[in-house]
Amino acid sequence: MTAAAMVMATSVAKAESVKTGDYSFIYSYPAEAAAIPQLRARLNAEDKALKGKTARDAAAARRESKNGSFPFRAYETQKTWKVVTSTPRFLSLSSDAYEYTGGAHGNPSSGALVWDKARGVGIDPTQVFTSTAALQRVIAPTYCARLKAERSRRLAPYKDTSDTFSQCPTLKELTLLLGSSNRQRIDRIGLIADPYVAGSYAEGAYEVTLPVTPAILSAVRPAYRAAFAAR
């Protein structure tokens, strides 16, 4: 199973789409997020900030193109939030984003956010663990082996011998998703390496899903441990 396959099929509560001569902009989030007032406000604020930045940057690029020797190409920003899982303790979200600022190609990226229902706050998924270093030590052997195998499979037809991305990325370079097979407790984690993190742009993103093992469970903060289950 890939990390993307962990994402649930959910209804969209908000989908904003704007297109002008300078830029196009799309932003959406699911009904599960909209049902939480504080989270809805947070996402609406992000929507407004991203749209404003895209409009300002695109307008500045158009002005510069008039004074320079390069053609203006309309900017593009997209961001879509999806539900990974919803358990009694957490609403786990993932995001797919894309940004184009006039270059050779746009840049896709991933993101994650966990809403702690008990505390009423949004946190980065890494915050449920004692430290990124602790989780890194536990997952590295399995994750790195699976990533290497997948890279070899994708590159085999091209006989690529480059070692530019020979080093396994650290957890800080990855997007961490919290998932559940039963919507009761977190029993799997997803790890997404965006383009240029584990491979070239042409290779795309690399996604690996790992079951929550007793070793991973030991790296969870005591306050969150009851919300997890080892498989």
| pLDDT tens, N- to C-terminus, the chain (231 residues) | 666 667 765 677 778 999 999 999 999 999 999 999 999 999 999 999 999 999 999 999 999 998 877 899 999 999 999 999 999 999 999 999 999 999 888 999 999 999 999 999 999 999 999 999 999 999 999 999 999 999 989 888 876 656 678 899 999 999 999 999 999 999 999 999 999 999 999 899 999 999 999 999 999 999 999 999 998
Cα 10 to Cα 1, 110, 193: the distances in Å are 19, 18, 24
Parallel, antiparallel, or unpaired: how do β-strands 23-30 and 75-86 relate?
parallel
Question: Closest by alpha carbon to 171, among 136, 138, 144, 197?
Answer: 136
Instruction: Give the predicted TM-score (pTM) of the model.
Output: 0.91
For the stretch 65-111, pLDDT in tens is 988 778 999 999 999 999 999 999 999 999 999 999 998 889 999 99
pLDDT of residue 158: 72
Question: Closest by alpha carbon to 4, among 91, 95, 86?
Answer: 95
Residue-by-residue DSSP string for 39-108: HHHHHHHHHHHHHHHHHHHHHHHHHHHHHSSS----EEEEEEEEEEEE-SSEEEEEEEEEEE-SSSS-EE
